[in-house]
Chain A
Amino acid sequence: MQPGNCLYVGGIRDTVAHVLEMRGINKSFFGTTVLKDVDLAVDAGEIHALVGENGAGKSTLMNILFGMPVIHNTGGYEGQILVDGEQVEIPSPGVAMQLGIGMVHQEFMLMPGFTVTENIKLNREISRPNLLSRIISDKLELLDVSQMGKDSRQALDKLGVDIDHWLPVAGLPVGYMQFVEIAREIDKSQVKALVFDEPTAVLTESEAELFLGAVQRLSEAGLAILFISHRLAEVVAVAHRITVLRDGEVVGRLSQNGVKVERIAEMMVGRQIKRPALPPRTSEPSDDDIILETKNLEVQMPGERLKGLNLAVRRGEILGLGGLAGHGKVAVANGIMGLYPASGSVRIEGRELPLNDPAAALQSRLAFVSEDRRGTGLLLDESIEDNIAFTSMQSQNRFLKGSVPWQGLRVRDGEAIRKQALKTIEELDIRCTGPEQPVRRLSGGNQQKVCLARALTLSPRILFASEPTRGIDVGAKSLVLDLLVKFNRELGMTVVLTSSELAELRMICDRIAIIYQGRLVGILTPDDSDVEFGLMMAGGRVSEVGVG
Chain B
Amino acid sequence: MNTQTSAVSANMSAGLMSIVKKNAVPILFAILSILSVVVAKMNPLFLVNEIITRLARNAFLVLALLIPVSAGLGLNFAIVVGAMAGQVAVIAITHWKIEGLLGFFLAMLGSVPLAVIMGYLVGQVMNRAKGREMITSMVLGFFANGIYQLVFLFLVGTVIPMKNRSMMLPDGVGIRNTVDLFGISRALDNLWRINVAGIRIPLASLLLVVLLCIALHYFMQTRLGQQMRAVGQDINIAAVAGINVDRTRVIAMILSTVLAAWGQLIFLQNISTLNTYNSHEQVGTFAIAALLVGGATARRATIWQALLGVLLFHTLFVVSPSAGQAIIGIPQIGEYFRVFVAYGVIGVALALHAWQARE
Which residues of chain A have a CB within 8 Å of any CB of chain B?
93-94, 97, 105, 109-114, 118, 122-125, 127, 133, 137-143
| B228, chain A: closest CB distance, angstroms | 10
Give bound CA distance, A127 to B227, whole Å: 13
B230 interface contact, C-beta 8 A: yes
Cβ B223 vs Cβ A109 within 8 A: no
Residues of B within 8 A of A124 (CB): 241
Residues of A within 8 A of B227 (CB): 123, 139
Q: Which chain B residue lies CB-closest to A110?
A: B237
| A111, chain B: closest CB distance, angstroms | 4
Cβ B222 vs Cβ A123 within 8 A: no
Residues of B within 8 A of A137 (CB): 224
Knowing that A94-B242, A123-B227 touch, tell me 17 more A-B residue pairs with CB under 8 angstroms. Answer: A93-B240, A93-B242, A105-B240, A111-B230, A112-B234, A114-B229, A114-B233, A123-B243, A125-B223, A127-B223, A139-B222, A139-B227, A140-B219, A140-B223, A141-B222, A141-B223, A142-B218
**Interfacial residues of chain B within 219-271, with CB under 8 A of chain A in the complex:** 219, 221-224, 226-227, 229-230, 233-234, 236-238, 240-243
Give bound CA distance, A27 to B227, whole Å: 36
User: 6 closest Cβ contacts across the A-B interface?
Assistant: A139-B224, A123-B241, A111-B233, A122-B241, A109-B237, A140-B222
Max chain A Cβ within 10 angstroms of own Cβ: one of B223, B238, B243: B223
| A386, chain B: closest CB distance, angstroms | 23
Cβ B238 vs Cβ A127 within 8 A: no
> Contacts A122-B241, A123-B243, A142-B221; is A112 near B233 (CB within 8 Å)?
yes
Cβ B218 vs Cβ A143 within 8 A: no
Give bound CA distance, A112 to B72, whole Å: 14
Max chain B Cβ within 10 angstroms of own Cβ: one of A122, A141, A143: A122
Cβ B223 vs Cβ A122 within 8 A: no
Please name 15 pairs of A and B residues whose Cβ atoms are closer than 8 Å in the assembled complex, sorted by A.
Answer: A94-B242, A97-B242, A110-B237, A111-B234, A111-B237, A112-B233, A114-B230, A114-B233, A122-B238, A123-B238, A123-B242, A124-B241, A139-B224, A140-B222, A142-B222
**Contact check: which of B218, B219, B222, B226 meets A118 at CB < 8 Å?**
B226
Residues of A within 8 A of B230 (CB): 111, 114, 122-123
| B342, chain A: closest CB distance, angstroms | 30
Q: Which chain A residue lies CB-closest to B233?
A: A111
**Contact check: which of B226, B236, B237 meets A125 at CB < 8 Å?**
B226
Give bound CA distance, A139 to B237, whole Å: 19
> Contacts A122-B241, A123-B238, A123-B242; is A139 near B223 (CB within 8 Å)?
yes
| A208, chain B: closest CB distance, angstroms | 23
| A62, chain B: closest CB distance, angstroms | 14
Give bound CA distance, A183 to B250, whole Å: 31
Cβ B222 vs Cβ A143 within 8 A: yes
Cβ B233 vs Cβ A143 within 8 A: no
Q: How many chain B residues touch the partner (CB < 8 A)?
A: 19
Residues of B within 8 A of A110 (CB): 237
Residues of A within 8 A of B237 (CB): 109-111, 122
Cβ B242 vs Cβ A133 within 8 A: no
B interface SS class: helix
Give bound CA distance, A321 to B128, whole Å: 47
Give bound CA distance, A391 to B227, whole Å: 43
Q: Which chain A residue lies CB-closest to B224?
A: A139
Cβ B241 vs Cβ A143 within 8 A: no
Q: Which chain B residue lies CB-closest to A113?
A: B233
Residues of B within 8 A of A123 (CB): 227, 230, 238, 241-243
Residues of A within 8 A of B236 (CB): 109
Give bound CA distance, A133 to B233, whole Å: 25
| A69, chain B: closest CB distance, angstroms | 12
| B266, chain A: closest CB distance, angstroms | 23
Residues of A within 8 A of B240 (CB): 93, 105, 109
Cβ B222 vs Cβ A133 within 8 A: yes
Give bound CA distance, A97 to B241, whole Å: 10
Residues of B within 8 A of A109 (CB): 236-237, 240-241
**Interfacial residues of chain B within 183-240, with CB under 8 A of chain A in the complex:** 218-219, 221-224, 226-227, 229-230, 233-234, 236-238, 240
Give bound CA distance, A240 to B242, whole Å: 33
Q: Which chain B residue lies CB-closest to A118?
A: B226
Give bound CA distance, A97 to B237, whole Å: 16
Max chain B Cβ within 10 angstroms of own Cβ: one of A110, A112, A137, A139: A139
Residues of A within 8 A of B223 (CB): 125, 127, 138-141, 143
Residues of B within 8 A of A143 (CB): 221-223, 226
Residues of B within 8 A of A140 (CB): 219, 222-224
Q: Which chain A residue lies CB-closest to B227?
A: A123
Max chain B Cβ within 10 angstroms of own Cβ: one of A111, A112, A123, A139: A123
Max chain A Cβ within 10 angstroms of own Cβ: one of B219, B227, B230: B230
Residues of A within 8 A of B222 (CB): 127, 133, 139-143
Q: Which chain B residue lies CB-closest to A169?
A: B233
Give bound CA distance, A21 to B160, whole Å: 67
| A185, chain B: closest CB distance, angstroms | 12
Give bound CA distance, A139 to B182, whole Å: 41
Q: Which chain A residue lies CB-closest to B244?
A: A123
Q: Which chain B residue lies CB-closest to A145?
A: B221
Residues of B within 8 A of A112 (CB): 233-234
Residues of A within 8 A of B229 (CB): 113-114
Residues of B within 8 A of A141 (CB): 222-223
Residues of A within 8 A of B218 (CB): 142
| A156, chain B: closest CB distance, angstroms | 18
Residues of A within 8 A of B233 (CB): 111-114
Give bound CA distance, A302 to B145, whole Å: 48
Give bound CA distance, A66 to B230, whole Å: 23
Residues of A within 8 A of B242 (CB): 93-94, 97, 123
Interface mask (B116-132 → A, CB under 8 Å = 1, otherwise 0): 00000000000000000
Give bound CA distance, A113 to B240, whole Å: 17
Residues of A within 8 A of B224 (CB): 137, 139-140
Residues of B within 8 A of A94 (CB): 242
Q: Which chain B residue lies CB-closest to A114?
A: B233
Give bound CA distance, A141 to B227, whole Å: 12
Q: Which chain B residue lies CB-closest to A143?
A: B221
| B118, chain A: closest CB distance, angstroms | 21
